[in-house]
């Protein structure tokens, strides 16, 4: 179903024709910028008041649109093209045409799951908060509200099992099962192999990251990202669409996201990147163990300079933790872990971290300035909001995959070394 409305911008009095495609959500928040003056216009379908801000609703306009006004198409679930009004060519119909029925229903299944989780958002967040606070009684009590998640006992391995069921439950609509599952599902056997081949160093590595609190802190950092991903379940919806068509398709193509703006999402990308790079320290230790039998020993090409002298930052895993974010990935040589390179954009991350970007809301184009160029701002890169949301989604998937590596290391400690995570 579609609703057609005509809005008059409060700031410049421009008339804007708007076609709003309905989804199954009971409450649907929309947002766009006035194409003439860039002022933000927002409203919520499903609330009695409608909460229209930035414009007034022209009640007596006569449908259909005649093309004289600016036109905005909106739909929460799909990317929406900029352009002129065409009768019947709605975002929903375009999506079905492009995806075909089978893929459309696969996408719909995930969108429905998002609707379900959204309704349980409070319960899910409470479980994670109580776990982080280490209040076992309240953690167990909050679990009762979630479906199919039972705690077998209050033994640590069972508490972690329940916790990871919760994170999988949250992540399910955002992730695709095939993604990196060789790594997350293969970790127990990788650890078993290391345990047999190099018992002493493997135990030393796990004991190090358990005793110094690194593993637990990393887990808590990851856990904090799940409720925040849920906060962005609206604007990330159109990015899921590109799982079902060629992913290159959202590059440089201006399509609209019908809710949220860049300023509300950009810090989350930065924080995801921050936690991801911390996870890479854990991956580097494992990779060093697998490749060189010592978690502290990096490849010579990384560890030594041209004069064959050791470089301080690569002298041990502990000093590697301080390496610049952008350099960390290249120090993990020939790893079994393959990161989706689309997910990581350290230039974009730097642009956000140093607050050097301009966002034009009417076109949803982000221009950022990644270089250090004194007081000048010359070298810029452009990216559309839809591409940014896609990167955010892909980076969340990487963090979620590596959270499964954390899980395997926790189980190794608790079950094999009989050492609880304190």
Point out which residues bind Zn ion (CB under 5 A). 9, 11-12, 14, 34, 36-37, 39
Residue 16 or residue 111: which is nearer to Zn ion going by CB? 16
Residue 71 or residue 92: which is nearer to Zn ion going by CB? 71
For residues 34 and 22, what is the distance between their CA atoms, to the nearest angstrom?
21
For residues 234 and 295, what is the distance between their CA atoms, to the nearest angstrom?
41
Exposed / middle / buried, residue 39 (Cβ in 10 Å: 0-12, 13-18, 19+): middle
Residue 32 or residue 242: which is nearer to Zn ion going by CB? 32
For residues 247 and 70, what is the distance between their CA atoms, to the nearest angstrom?
30
Residue 34 or residue 206: which is nearer to Zn ion going by CB? 34
Residue 72 or residue 99: which is nearer to Zn ion going by CB? 72
Smallest distance, Zn ion to C-beta of residue 265, A: 23
Residue 292 three-state SS: helix
Task: List all residues 6 or more positions away from 153 whose beta carbon is below 8 Å from its beta carbon.
Answer: none
Residue 256 or residue 349: which is nearer to Zn ion going by CB? 256
Smallest distance, Zn ion to C-beta of residue 76, A: 23
For residues 353 and 345, what is the distance between their CA atoms, to the nearest angstrom?
12
Smallest distance, Zn ion to C-beta of residue 259, A: 19
Smallest distance, Zn ion to C-beta of residue 9, A: 3
Smallest distance, Zn ion to C-beta of residue 51, A: 18
Residue 13 or residue 420: which is nearer to Zn ion going by CB? 13
Smallest distance, Zn ion to C-beta of residue 16, A: 8
Which one-letter DSSP state was computed for residue 311?
Answer: P
Instruction: Report helix, strand and coil shares of the chain as percent, to nearest 5.
Output: 50, 15, 35
Phi/psi for 97 (5° steps) reads -60, -45
Buried b (16+ CB within 10 A) or exposed e, 380-400: eeebbbbbbbbbbbbbbbbbb
Which residue's structure tokens are 């989706």?
A: 340
Smallest distance, Zn ion to C-beta of residue 38, A: 7
């Amino acid at each position: 179903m579609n609703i057609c409305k005509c809005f008059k911008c409060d700031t410049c009095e421009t008339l804007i024709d708007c076609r709003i495609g309905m989804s199954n959500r009971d409450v649907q928040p929309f947002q766009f910028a006035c194409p003439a003056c860039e002022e933000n216009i927002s409203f919520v379908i499903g609330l009695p008041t409608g909460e229209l801000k930035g414009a007034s609703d022209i009640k007596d306009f006569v449908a259909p649109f005649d093309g004289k006004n600016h036109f905005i198409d909106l739909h929460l679930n799909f990317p929406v093209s900029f352009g002129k009004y065409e009768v019947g060519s709605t975002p929903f119909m375009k999506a079905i045409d492009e995806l075909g029925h089978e893929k459309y229903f696969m996408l719909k299944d995930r969108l429905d799951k998002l609707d379900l989780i959204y309704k349980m958002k409070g319960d899910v967040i409470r479980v994670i908060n109580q776990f982080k606070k280490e209040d076992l009684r309240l953690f167990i009590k909050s679990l009762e509200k979630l479906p199919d998640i039972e705690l077998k006992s209050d033994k640590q391995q069972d508490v972690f099992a329940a916790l990871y069921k919760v994170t999988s439950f949250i992540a399910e609509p955002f992730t695709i099962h095939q993604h990196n599952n060789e790594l997350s599902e293969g970790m127990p056997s990788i650890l078993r192999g290391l345990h047999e081949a190099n018992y002493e160093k493997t135990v030393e590595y796990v004991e190090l990251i358990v005793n110094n609190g690194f593993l637990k802190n990393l887990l808590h950092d990851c856990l904090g990202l799940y409720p925040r991903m849920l906060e962005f379940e609206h604007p990330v919806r159109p990015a899921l669409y590109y799982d079902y068509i060629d992913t290159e398709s959202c590059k440089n193509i201006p399509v609209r996201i019908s809710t949220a703006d860049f300023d509300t999402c950009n810090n989350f990308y930065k924080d995801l990147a921050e936690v991801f790079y911390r996870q890479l320290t854990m991956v580097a230790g494992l990779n060093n163990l697998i490749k060189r039998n010592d978690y502290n020993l990096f490849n010579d090409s990384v560890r030594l300079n041209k004069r064959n002298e050791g470089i301080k930052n690569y002298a041990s895993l502990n000093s590697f933790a301080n390496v610049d974010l952008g350099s960390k990935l290249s120090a993990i040589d020939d790893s079994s872990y393959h990161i989706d390179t689309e997910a990581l954009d350290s230039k974009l991350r730097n642009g956000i971290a140093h607050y050097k970007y301009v966002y034009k809301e009417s076109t949803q184009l982000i221009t950022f300035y990644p270089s250090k160029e004194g007081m000048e701002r010359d070298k810029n890169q452009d990216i559309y909001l839809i591409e940014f949301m896609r990167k955010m989604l892909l980076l969340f998937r990487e963090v979620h995959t590596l959270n499964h590596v954390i899980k395997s290391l926790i189980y190794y400690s608790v079950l094999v070394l009989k050492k609880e995570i304190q």
